[in-house]
Amino acid sequence: MTSSKPEFWIILPVKVAGWAHDILKNLSWGFAAAGYKSLFVIDYATEESRERINTGFMQKIASGEPFVIVDLFMRMKMLGIPPDLVPGHFTHIGDSPIHHFNRVLSSSPETVIGIPDRRYREIYETLGFQHKLVFVPYSGCDPIADPLPMADRDIDLLFTGTLGMLPGSDAWNEMVADLPDLYKDAIDEALIRTLDEEMVAFMALARAFERRGVDWREEDAAAVVKAHQAVETYAETTRRWDILSAMEGLNLHFMGDASDDVSAKMWSYTKFHRFTSFDDMLEVVKRTKILINICPKLAGGSHTRIWNGIAYGCVNATTHSSYLDEDFVDGVDIINFPDDMTGFKEKLESLLADTDGLDAMVASSQAKYTARHLWRHRAAEIAQVMMEGPTDVPADLRF
């Protein structure tokens, strides 16, 4: 007898970032742990590979057995799979749908989309998409065994990511140089609301346009997308610079890409590491006391940096998130960056001096993390959603 449980086929592109491999790997293990058969479909991005994938899909469809394709960022069109032929499709789109508009537009309305920030639901609805949406925040792997105690870690503060410009620099101004003045005014207002009110960038921009009597739907789409990119980039750049520059004099390490002007400003108090791979980054995280996450665009969800830090025994210092507030307490489990950085350097110095206190924060955060914030938890929830009808969304996934 054929099982009513679907198999989960995980699209695993060979040429994709290490963090994406980590997510897909942990989701696959999570489906298996929840009692579902799970397998990887390897995409080598060659014609031969994709012909094999198509043949396998069509054979599975012909068998009549239930299965669900799982991918990140809507890869179905790239694979050439007719979306209306697939019995089940779950995709996780890890940022604003504005960045993936054409993919979502061309996808089957039966596709279930996991979104990493509750606030993004409003964007999908505003854009007119009818897909079923479930809140699937970024999560992480099981904590490593025997992480180094804080007293044995040689890196006090680690930021992993990019900082491609300074606020107000030539590169900053060039982002919007060819946009009308009205757009620039709207961008400035949207930036303030994104930072001060934790409003998601696209909705802040749309409302700034509306207050100026502009219907963004009737504007040039490329210009609106560019304006949105500016708001997101400006918000991230502003907060990253405000926070990292406030750490002058501390043992700060930076792993990733920094522009020349950023490096010139920070070189005297920062040790820069070249990012070579995701695994190499995690080796540096293992030596870190406090891992820094600065990501305003996920202030209604969570970034993988948070969970990587907790899984590898770090305390996480992070952008405030309404989602994290539900489980994690500032100063007990994590550190929230304040709006005003005055005195924050001294607070960090005090925290870093108390290695026993940091160890206690790790223990507290890991207990909450392992209880409900692992990718295997997300996998079990996704499986339940894909098994049930359109209104039977688990309580902790409802908006």
3-state secondary structure of 357: helix
- pLDDT value for 108: 86
Nearest to 135, CA basis, from 272, 283, 322: 322
- pLDDT per position in the chain (399 positions), as tens? 345 889 999 999 998 889 999 999 999 999 999 999 999 999 999 999 999 998 998 899 889 899 999 999 988 777 877 766 667 899 999 999 999 999 898 888 889 999 999 999 999 999 999 999 999 999 999 999 999 999 999 999 999 999 999 999 999 999 999 999 999 999 999 999 999 999 999 999 999 999 999 999 999 999 999 999 999 999 999 999 999 999 999 999 999 999 999 999 999 999 999 999 999 999 999 999 999 999 999 999 999 999 999 999 999 999 999 999 999 999 999 999 999 999 999 999 999 999 999 999 999 999 999 999 999 999 999 999 998 754 444 444 433
What is the token pair recorded at 1?
């007898």
Nearest 5°: the CA angle 165, 234, 161 is 55
3-state secondary structure of 67: strand
Question: Which residues are within 8 A (CB) of 234 and not within 5 positions of it... i.e. 6 or more apart?
Answer: 167, 172, 175, 187, 191
Q: Which amino acid is at 101?
A: F
Give the sign of the dihedral formed by CA 310, CA 145, CA 8, CA 100: positive
- pLDDT value for 4: 80
- pTM listed for this prediction: 0.93
Nearest to 202, CA basis, from 84, 95, 320: 95
What is the token pair recorded at 301?
């969800």
- Residues present in the chain in total: 399
